[in-house]
Structure 1
């Protein structure tokens, strides 16, 4: 760790919804959203070669915690995608709009919803039992 004469001030997280109490499910959904936004398909090319389909890199350079986290993520993130598909479209839109506002500037809104906070809270309450049924813990 490097010591400096002028340490950088700690930056506190400011939410897009100032009065909304965040919980672990919010963090889980946000991690899923960030992972989903990172996927970019390549037109005309497969995602893997048949000859290398079963290959994997060595985990020897990773810590035990990193290996466990990656394996948990490999199970949890697809389960969240499947749970999102089970929701009604209005609930999916409420969740996606809220997560998009958290990732970038909070300028997105759903014109069909009067109160975005309430719509997100209802959608989150609907996805929680689906995730529990699929074995996802938060």
Structure 2
């Protein structure tokens, strides 16, 4: 870890952050907003020191997005809804917020275990309205 305190790294790090507009490329947070910005190596190259990478193999991430990228904390982005189930009654529990649910949405992420969540949490994780649109359709059908 000492190499990340060397002048070569600190200079390279600032250059990458500047190239990315001084903000996290995932969530857009900047230092002005209080974000702690870090440089993420998109892939690792054997025999290269951290500052010897081409700029295109590095990206600026805030501390939260960087931790999510490495599977340390649950990622904020990159989730995909892969299925749905109607339990028939509210006997399930959203694994994200703990709410009792009847309609379960299955979401996955390449760097985190799959989750079974409710409509709102599915939309939040996937940054879509897929679950709420599906539930609107189900409610219209049931109202007939």
Scaled by the length of structure 2, the TM-score of the pair is 0.20
Scaled by the length of structure 1, the TM-score of the pair is 0.20
Write 1 or 2 for the structure with the bigger share of strand.
Answer: 2
Write 1 or 2 for the structure with the bigger share of helix.
Answer: 1
Task: Flag the structure with larger Rg.
Answer: 2
